[in-house]
Amino acid sequence: MLFTIGSDSGHRTALLSMDTGSSRDVVGLDNATGARYLGAGIIVFGRAGTLMAAAFDPDRGEMRGNPLPVLDGLLTSTLGLAVFTTSADGSLAYVPGDIAENQLVLVDRKGKAFPLTKEPGLYQHPRFSPDGRRIAAEVRKGAETDIWAFDLTRGTTTRLTFDQGLAPTWSPDSSRLALIRVARDGSYRPFWVEADGSGTLAPLGQDLSFPSFIPWSISPDGELVAFQVMRGKDRANFVLASPDGSDFFVLRDEFGESYWPQFSPDGRYVAYVSVESGRPEVYVRAVDGPGKWLVSRDGGGEPLWSGDGSELFYRRGDEVLSVPTRLAPDFSAGTPVVLFEGRYDSGGTDQHWGVAPDGQTFVMVTVGQVSATPIRLVLNWTEELRRLLPMDN
């Protein structure tokens, strides 16, 4: 059986033996999605908006020769998946179109939006630097995703990683970012990268035993990193760890999954999302000692603090809400107020927005748009492929 292995770092195709249960990669099918064996020694797959075909040996699980492009203009989802299917009688159904691109926009507290990026692309995980001067984000170009920084003062853009970078999180002094890279086995590995554009990487939390975790927030003193754990039943809990991984403890939500840990500006509290009530809600808990407070009402996610800790922002559907907060002498929260409403991308268990330190400006990801296009059907398509491909008899 052929199947696609996908991650933020790209896609590859593997072959599973139904007899032994073992699998192995198909050589030559990197950055390919939706591979299908059509019989008669033919395999087809999508790659960068093009449908490809190649001669294939099903016994060896190997392609014979180089693949050929057979159809351009294939719609590709934001996850990089080609939109097509085939039937046993040799027909092809596909959707033409381009990938659904989006943009980064700056939005004020009244909901008025201003474009940050000059042209549409594939952007995710925007984050304001603590000094408010830059925004870091994932930018996907082709099969590669890297971290770029947008300088709000100079109007320049700087590439920060050159061989994959995901989920950027700024250090308190805005000099570097924590990020993740996806290993070939699918595990997430955290690193530091300098924010000067040199591309210099250093391991982060290398002594931690968790195979997959994402650094979502760094304490103001730089002594702790809040990791969201991605491991089995614990995948939606988080740990607080020292940057070298030498000391850590799990903040486990006993009532269910928890997401998006965010240190308060004084480092005494963590805002996060839990589903203990049966739906996602924003909570705040003390880092050291007892204390937990429900902040949101009627659901909420993706919490972010203002730079002075006087507000906690979160999202609820298309709404952006603000809650007045007090950090000293103890935590307290007021009543949530809707600031604005707009249709912007939400990250599921990821975080797809950011807020400036002064709490006056937000960076959002627009929802990628593609025009409605009817499904196209090609009959007797396999016969046409036999004429195009060099087949060995």
Q: What is the pTM of this model?
A: 0.75
Domain 2-98+371-388 carries which CATH code?
Answer: 2.120.10.30
Angstrom distance (rounded) from CA 391 to CA 13: 22
The residues with which 316 forms a beta bridge, in sequence order, are: 319
Taking the C-alpha atoms of residue 79 and residue 7, their distance in angstroms, rounded to an integer, is 9
The CATH classification number of 104-365 equals: 2.120.10.30
- pLDDT tens digits, 21-40: 666 666 566 667 788 888 77
Least confident residue range of 39-43, 176-180, 369-373 = 369-373
- Could you give the residue range(s) of every CATH 2.120.10.30 domain in the chain? 2-98+371-388, 104-365
Highest mean pLDDT, choosing among 69-73, 216-220, 249-253, 387-391: 216-220
* Residues 110-153: tens digit of each pLDDT: 999 999 998 888 899 999 999 999 999 999 886 678 999 999 99
- For residue range 323-332, list pLDDT tens digits in order: 999 999 999 9
Contacts of 116 (CB under 8 A, 6+ apart): 103, 104, 105, 106, 135, 150, 363
